Amino acid sequence: MGDLRDLYQEVILEHSKHPRNFRALESANHQAEGFNPLCGDHFTVYVDVENGAIKDIGFQGTGCAISKASASMMTQNLKGKTTAEAEDMFTRFHALVTGKDLKADLGKLAVFAGVSEFPVRVKCASLAWHALHAALQGKQEAVSTE
Amino acid sequence: MSTAAKTRIVPAPPSTTTYDVQKVREDFPILRQMVHGKPLVYLDNAATTQKPEAVVRAMADYYHHDNSNVHRGVHLLSQRATESYEKSREVIQRFLNAASLSEVIFVRGTTEAINLVAQTYGRRNVGEGDEVVITAMEHHSNIVPWQMLCEEKHARLRVAPMNDRGELLMDDFAKLLGPKTRIVAVPHLSNALGTINPIREIVRLAHQHNVPVLVDGAQAAPRMRVDVQELGCDFYAVSGHKLYGPTGIGVLYGNAKLLEAMPPYQGGGDMIASVTFEKTIYNRLPYKFEAGTPDIAGAIGLGAAIEYLERLGVDNIEKHEHSLLEYATEQVSAIPGVQVIGTAKEKAGVLSFVMDGIHPHDVGTILDHEGIAIRTGHHCAQPVMQRFNLPATARASFGLYNTKEEVDALVTGIKRVSEVLA
């Protein structure tokens, strides 16, 4: 198992304490819930999509430091991206946190590489992304990581 | 067929008078290991307990020497397997003080025991508009089987509330009982809060309405003396793996009168006396409820586990764990930013807590890094979490091999959590 500091990096802790875009979006035309029954983490991701691009994005809910920071940094990184780019980023993010591609091109999100050393926390890191994916797909039911 | 299920109380082995926890630890090889470079501190005993060498050996001995099917063969191995299997039933009868061997039914665990009662007694006796009473502190396994029953029968599930300490509100519980109540199901000891419920009083109130009581004893049986006749309950469910025995085996105690009147749970071999295509005559108790080849090795392991507990002395274990819980509660409550969840006057074994601004899952990961195994999450008791308006808690739960030094390690670990996440 990796070092705790690899998991709880400063930037991750900072985002978990002061999450960005931590709000419900009035203008959202896509939204979905993500739920991790194992630890009770529960987020709703709100997306305002216009002409195939993410105009605005927010989230609300409760979860551990990893899941909250991941949701916060996800929203920060996706504003202005196309939905295709967002889905592509999810794929790379998943490859990163599962350790399949630790060099994935993810910019600031690369701080989540430490998660790959903590297999039970992969679901925490990817929860908001699963919810985003469901929202973009127009799924109605809450997605579960189990 | 097997030997007669007659009442035969075998005397319990003498228990040790002093309790030497360091010596006890030697019986558990698994405890001698490092986790992330630190000595393992196993505080997840409410989830499952470790197995003493005696249990592992009893199961291995069975497979090495006696493996055979029970209740069938005329050959020697089958006789030995049957004897060992049935001897475990006697050990359990003595442990729970059941009035007869017919009242001891082997199942997969507490969950199956509760489902058995819901699907047999419940389906026969609960009808449209009837009510099933449970409590606000149930494990999911004592909610969902009743919910399924109520849905099928158009019956109503009533939930007795608890106070902020996690104690059952007995006046409200009493008011829920009435002419529509068909069964009451309660936990002896709450897995999420550690509350010990007043079973005798619950039984007294329910019996005033001629309502039977099922007790979920998964957490209590490993931690305190259980006497089903003294409690007066009609059903008592336990899991082997929480009793320092193997997984996959458990026991349903049932009052013989009720069991006689209940239809079988599953059909198959062993639960029959005779079969034709026209009609099947069911076997007598307890075999009526034991369809198919049972978990023979599991039952033997459970018997060995209970004999081990008896040798240590259930009262000694209770006293030891009580002092650990008291010490841990005092130490953990004193850490700034930590709040204990579940502060009932009568408690055992379980210390649930939350930390200001820190999610329990992060607590669990950091403690794991210190070699300390605890449970984090909703503990299969989501309604309990909702009652306290929490997404989850961290839970340390104690076993007969835990030490004061391990509590100290927990306290140091919790302080480390604050440092890492500061």
The whole-angstrom distance between B391's CA and the closest CA on chain A is 6
Q: Which residue of B has its CA nearest to A17?
A: B357
For residue B4, is pLDDT > 70? no
Interchain contact, A39 vs B360, CB within 8 Å? yes
Residue A74: inside a domain, yes or no? yes
pLDDT mean over B49-76: 95
Neighbours of B207 (CB within 10 A): 16
The C-alpha atoms of residue A73 and residue B368 are separated, in whole angstroms, by: 26
Cβ neighbours of A120 in B, within 8 Å: 365
- Contact criterion met (CB below 8 Å) for B318 and B22: no
- Contact criterion met (CB below 8 Å) for B185 and B132: yes
Q: Which residues, in sequence order, are bridge partners of residue B112?
A: none
Average pLDDT, chain B: 95
The C-alpha atoms of residue A77 and residue B214 are separated, in whole angstroms, by: 54
- Contact criterion met (CB below 8 Å) for B291 and B264: yes
Residue A90: inside a domain, yes or no? yes
Choose the mutation target among B361, B363, B372 for the interface with A, i.e. most A CBs under 10 Å. B361
- Contact criterion met (CB below 8 Å) for B411 and B335: yes
Write out the residue limits of the CATH 3.90.1150.10 domain(s) in chain B.
34-51+313-421
The C-alpha atoms of residue B31 and residue B299 are separated, in whole angstroms, by: 24
The C-alpha atoms of residue B213 and residue B120 are separated, in whole angstroms, by: 15
Rg of chain B in Å (alpha carbons): 22
Strand B131-135 relative to strand B156-160: parallel, antiparallel, unpaired? Answer: parallel
Q: What is the pLDDT of residues B365-379, one digit of tens each?
A: 999 999 999 999 888
Chain A residues within 8 A (CB-CB) of chain B?
A: 1, 4-5, 7-8, 13, 17, 37-42, 62-68, 118, 120-121, 124
Q: What is the pLDDT of residue B9?
A: 61
Interchain contact, A64 vs B362, CB within 8 Å? yes
Interchain contact, B358 vs A65, CB within 8 Å? yes
- Contact criterion met (CB below 8 Å) for B108 and B250: yes
- Please work out, in degrees rounded to the nearest 5, the angle formed at the alpha carbon of residue B252 by the alpha carbons of B247 and B255: 170
Q: Which residue of A has its CA nearest to B370?
A: A4
Q: Which domain holds residue A60?
A: 4-137
Question: Which are the contacts of A50, defined by CB distance < 8 A and separation ≥ 6?
Answer: none
Phi, psi of B232 (to 5 degrees): 80, 5
Catalytic site includes residue B233: no
Structural domain count, chain A: 1
For residue B17, is pLDDT > 80? no
Q: Which residue of B has its CA nearest to A68?
A: B359
Neighbours of B248 (CB within 10 A): 18
Candidate list B41, B114, B348, B380, residue with the active-site label: B380
Taking the whole predicted model, whether its pTM rises above 0.95 is answered as no
User: Which residues 401-420 of chain B have a CB within 8 Å of chain A?
Assistant: 420
Q: What is the pLDDT of residue A142?
A: 72
Q: How confident is the model at residue B412 (pLDDT cuts 50, 70, 90)?
A: very high
How far apart, in Å, are the Cα atoms of B61 and each of A117, B10, B297, B300, B301?
40, 22, 9, 10, 10
pLDDT mean over B206-212: 98
Question: Which are the contacts of B218, defined by CB distance < 8 A and separation ≥ 6?
Answer: B109, B110, B139, B141, B187, B191, B237, B238, B239, B242
Residue with tokens 């997404």: B391
Q: How many CB pairs under 8 A join A and B?
A: 55
Interchain contact, B365 vs A42, CB within 8 Å? no
What is the ipTM score, two decimals? Answer: 0.88
The C-alpha atoms of residue B354 and residue B365 are separated, in whole angstroms, by: 14
Residue with tokens 């070699």: B371
Query: Across the interface, which of A8, A37, A39 has its CB nearest the CB of B420?
Result: A8
A107: alpha, beta or left? (left if phi > 0; alpha if psi -120 to 50): left
pLDDT under 70 in chain A at which residues?
1-2, 140-141, 146
Positive or negative, the Cα torsion across B143, B144, B147, B153? Answer: negative
Residue A89: inside a domain, yes or no? yes
Interchain contact, A64 vs B359, CB within 8 Å? yes
Q: Which residue of B has its CA nearest to A6?
A: B420
Query: Across the interface, which of A1, A17, A124 has its CB nearest the CB of B361?
Result: A124
Interchain contact, B392 vs A39, CB within 8 Å? yes
Residue A142: inside a domain, yes or no? no
Chain-centroid distance of CA A126 in Å reads: 5
Cβ neighbours of B358 in A, within 8 Å: 65
Q: How confident is the model at residue B5 (pLDDT cuts 50, 70, 90)?
A: very low
Q: What is the pLDDT of residue A143?
A: 78
For residue B1, is pLDDT > 70? no
Neighbours of B14 (CB within 10 A): 9
Q: Tell me the CATH number at A74.
A: 3.90.1010.10
For the beta sheet containing A30-36, the strands, ordered from the edge strand earlier in sequence to the opposite edge, are A53-62, A41-50, A30-36, A143-144
The C-alpha atoms of residue B123 and residue B142 are separated, in whole angstroms, by: 16
Whether B141 and chain A come into contact, CB under 8 Å, resolves to no
Q: What is the pLDDT of residue B16?
A: 63
The third-level CATH classification (topology) of the domain covering B60-310 is Aspartate Aminotransferase; domain 2 (3.40.640)
Write out the residue limits of the CATH 3.40.640.10 domain(s) in chain B.
60-310
Burial of B286 (0-12, 13-18, 19+ CB in 10 A): buried
Would you state the structure tokens that stand for residue A96, as one six-digit string?
Answer: 């990163």
For residue B7, is pLDDT > 70? no
Whether B378 and chain A come into contact, CB under 8 Å, resolves to yes
Interchain contact, B385 vs A40, CB within 8 Å? yes
Helix and strand element counts for chain A (H, E): 5, 4
Cβ neighbours of B369 in A, within 8 Å: 1, 4
Strand A41-50 relative to strand A53-62: parallel, antiparallel, unpaired? Answer: antiparallel
For residue B19, is pLDDT > 80? yes
Would you state the structure tokens that stand for residue A121, as one six-digit string?
Answer: 């926390």
Interchain contact, B376 vs A39, CB within 8 Å? yes
Interchain contact, B357 vs A39, CB within 8 Å? no
Would you state the structure tokens that stand for residue B234, as one six-digit string?
Answer: 């009609």
Q: Is the peptide bond before B391 cis (omega within 30 degrees of 0)?
A: no
Q: Which of B307, B324, B332 is nearest to B243 (CA)?
A: B307
Q: Which residue of B has its CA nearest to A124?
A: B361
pLDDT mean over B22-46: 97
Cβ neighbours of B378 in A, within 8 Å: 37, 39-40
Query: Across the interface, which of B361, B376, B420 has its CB nearest the CB of A4?
Result: B420
- CATH architecture of the domain with residue range B34-51+313-421: Alpha-Beta Complex (3.90)
Q: What is the pLDDT of residues B222-252, one digit of tens each?
A: 999 999 999 999 999 999 999 999 999 999 9
Interchain contact, B421 vs A62, CB within 8 Å? no
The C-alpha atoms of residue B341 and residue B163 are separated, in whole angstroms, by: 12
Percent of chain B exceeding pLDDT 90 equals: 93
**What are the helix (H) ranges across B144-295?**
144-153, 170-176, 199-208, 228-231, 256-261
Residue A144: inside a domain, yes or no? no
Q: What is the pLDDT of residues B271-280, one digit of tens each?
A: 999 999 999 9
